[in-house]
Structure formats: structure tokens, C-alpha cells
Amino acid sequence: MDDKLFKRIKQLTEIQSTSGNEDNIRQLLTKEMTPLVDKVEYDGLGGIFGTKKSSVEDAPRIMLAAHMDEVGFMVSQIKKNGLFSVVPLGGWNPYVVSAQRFTLQTKQGDYPIISSSVPPHLLRGKSGGASLKVTDILFDAGFVSKEEAESFGVRPGDTIVPDVETIVTANGKRIISKAWDNRYGCTLLLDVLEQLKEVELPNTLIAGANVQEEVGLRGAKVSTTKFKPDLFFAIDCSPANDLDGKEDANGRLDGGFLLRIFDPGMIMLPRMREYIVQTAEDHDIPYQTFISQGGTDAGAAHLANNGVPSAVIGVPGRYIHTHQTMFSIKDYEAAREMILKLVTSLDKATVDTIIYGK
């Protein structure tokens, strides 16, 4: 891993932008993408995509889509004592939320805030957190009253985002950060667009990031309607399940990129799967097939318009949807190589074969 790549990962993962309040990450993506594409456009919800036009007549339209939002919270109520009730933005395990540091984002500025916890001394003789829900956890910015919180500009609807520094592990092979789901996709898209800047493609490439994926794949619904791709590739992070060390674990760090063949929202079409697998094997790109209990933007995209054949090129991350995710740079590099091979090979004949079988 070179310094440039780590600096990009650090910058993108430390940015704080949760679902519905993606301005911070969108501003950076706009700045970085603009010199790399022919045109940058937004959809009505705030997704950003750059188009790299092909000079080939009747070139197919290939869409690469990350999502820019990370999991967080929204203030639902300001209590009389100055603490806040929240609703989750994205899926959270309630047992990892307490006693963590966050940032409260308001119209008047950002403030430090922590999630509450109950000391063990006060739980003796009680059931403890046996039935804990995320909405039971209060957030504390140090305000002494509702009126004081409001005087600092706090209002229901303000967002709360994890505050975490991105670091490299001692062996230099893995990274610990928040929001790899899905700043992985944002990082990869910028890397790929840089490498393709002077490359003539056999397709028109539409590459960018959706909003509000973590709250129901909302951004993908509008972006696929706007840009009308022939094929769609979600670039997203999925949960690793390799803690027990089993070699056949569903999602292993250092096992290569994830080829998601099934989740509750999408079954990958056979010809799409076969083409990706053949391409990976032809170029010795390590991959692992993956079955997930959760969905990605591909679940929304493949049902858009008249139906868009879709796939997910992912990477595994341990402990996603928390403050601390661990991931392997090897898996990232495999995913990047896979996307480069796909984008440079998907001409009209190949796309027609994937869609129509001829």
C-alpha cells in the first residue's frame, strides 16, 4: 500500500456524512471527480456521478455506483435535561453504541457528543441490558438543559456521526477505520477514474456515489432512472464472517474481492456471474463468492427502468456498522483490478451477450 492510497482512504473514511446529510463527502467527491470525467451531474436526492463518454457509436452505458452515506443517528427529541433521544440511520447493534464518541452536526456548527451508558454498579441485581434497543440510548453533548442545547442551534433532525481516526495495523497489511461501508466504494471509484483518465473505453462509463443507501437503497432508485445504464455494478463493503478462522468462511479478509451471488434483494443473473468469474480467473484476480443477509444498491438498480442486469463487486470488513472496521488492503486491490478489467472489456457485443445471450 503506497502513501497516496492510504492518505485517500484516511481522508474519505474520516469524513463525517450519514444518510440524508451527505454534503461533506459529496463536496470532496465533486472536487476529485471533476477533472477525471467529461461531465459531473447530480440526481435530485444528491447522488453524484461523472460521465466518461465513449467515441464508439452506440456504446453501452456502464454504471459503477458506490454509496457515500455511513451509518449514524438523527436527533429525534431534546430532553429537558439537555440530552437527546435518537433514531438510527442504518443498522446498528445496540451493544456497540454505548460510551462512544460522536460528532453532533447542527446549522451552527459541529459539537462533540458521546453516547450514554449505565455503569455496572447501577446494574447489580437487575437484568442489565438484556432487552436494550438503540432508541433506549441517550446522547450527551454536555448541555445542561433543553434551552441551552437549542441556543447552540440543536434541533430535531440534526445528525450524529461517529468520530474516529483511521490507522494502519502494526504489520502494515490492514486498516482500522469507521465507514469503510462504503467509503471503500468512493475510494475505488476515484482510483479507477484516475487510471482511466487517458484511456479510450468501449463503453460510456457513469461512475459515482448514491445517497441514503443505508436507509433503504433510496439513492439508487433515482440515479438509475436518471442515467439509464445497460449494466450496473454496486461497489460496496460487506460483513466478514471469518473470526473463527475457518477457511470456508463466508467473507474472509485477504481472500480477494467478494462476488455477491445472492442476497434477499437480488439474485445475480447467470450470464453476468459467468462473465465476471471468467474475467477474474483469466487475469488471476482472487475472488470469493458471497451470500448475504443484507442488500446493496444493486437490489434497487436491477429493478429500475425495464430491468438492469446488476452485480456487486465488494470487499469484506470485520465489525462493519460500528465505530471500528478492520479490512485488508489486498482485498481492495483485487476489487480495483476487477473493476478495471470489467470497464475496459465491456463492449456492445459483450453487453448484449450478458443481457440477451447473443
Catalytic residues: 213
Closest by CA to 205, choosing from 184, 181, 189, is 189
* φ, ψ at 316 (rounded to 5°): -85, 145
182: cell is: 462504503
Query: Any idea what DSSP says for residue 198?
Result: T
CA distance 188 to 199: 17
Coarse DSSP helix, strand, coil percentages of the chain, rounded to the nearest 5 percent: 30, 30, 40
The DSSP-derived string for 258-313 is EEEEEETTEE--HHHHHHHHHHHHHTT--EEEEE-SS--HHHHHTTSTT---EEEE
Query: What region, left, alpha or beta, does residue 166 occupy, with left being phi > 0 and alpha being psi -120 to 50 degrees?
Result: beta
For residues 93 and 133, give the distance between their C-alpha atoms in angstroms, rounded to a whole number.
Answer: 9
Cα–Cα distance between 234 and 31 in angstroms, integer? 22
- Contact at 8 Å (CB) between 118 and 133? no
DSSP string, 80-131: TTS-EEEEEES---GGGTTT-EEEEEETTEEEEEEE----GGGTTTS-TTTT
> E strands within 107-195?
109-115, 139-140, 159-162, 167-168, 174-177
| DSSP code for 201 | P
Q: Is 334 exposed, middle or buried (0-12, 13-18, 19+ CB in 10 A)?
A: buried
Nearest C-alpha neighbor of 137 from the set 189, 180, 81, 94: 94
Nearest Cα to 161, choosing from 239, 106, 210, 215? 106
In contact, 61 and 228? CB cutoff 8 Å: yes
